[in-house]
Amino acid sequence: MSAETLPIEIQRENMVREQIEKRGIKDARVLEAMRRIPRHEFVADDAKNWAYSDSPLSIGDGQTISQPFIVAAMTELLHLQGHEHVLEIGTGSGYQTAILCELALQVYSVERIPKLARNSETRLAEMGYANIQLMVGDGTLGWPDHAPYDAIIVTAAAPQVPQALLDQLKPGGRLVIPIGPRFSQVLRVWQRLEDRFECHDSIGVMFVPLIGKQGWPSPF
């Protein structure tokens, strides 16, 4: 029996054990959230057989649902405890959003593509998530109305960190963002201290571009 024909629950458990735990993700809350959330509900019907594969998948409009390990790694870097207000830039399919909803008190998510935002809002509501607000807009500018945030996660790559996002980070808060040229980036973690920012690089990644006033000017 191939991996794609195993029962969904077994595929999801195998995803967590083989793709995520064995690569060093240790946060028990992140692992449990990824065991609970049905990734196959966030992909197109013709991609459901590969929903738990070790790869990103297209969700249309030039966007993707990230590889499961990358979702776990970025989430773990936020150090969420359950009391946080989190800003997500790039709602996409809503899968990362659902993970955040499981782990934080309140999630705010900005998506620049209206169709993706509508689909994700409907999907998340149907799944019972009430601690999420979505907005269509330029994610490079953040969402100042609800700032400051305990954590900010960006699911698209920027040439440099948008200053607007740093400005909306609470002291002690963490920002995780892919930084670099179009086809090769590094996950960079920023932490705001009382009088300065500190940052360090994590793993190499490849994300779609972050489009906006403080990001890339166009998708191409």
Tell me if residue 57 falls in helix, strand or coil. Answer: strand
Calpha distance 121→124 (Å, rounded): 5
| Cβ atoms of residues 96 and 69 within 8 Å | no
Return the H-helix or E-strand segment holding 74.
Answer: helix 68-77
Catalytic residue among 53, 55, 58, 66: 66
How many CA atoms, within 13 angstroms, populate the side-chain half-sphere of residue 136? 9
Q: Is 184 a catalytic residue?
A: no
| Cβ atoms of residues 88 and 96 within 8 Å | yes
Active-site residues, by number, are 66
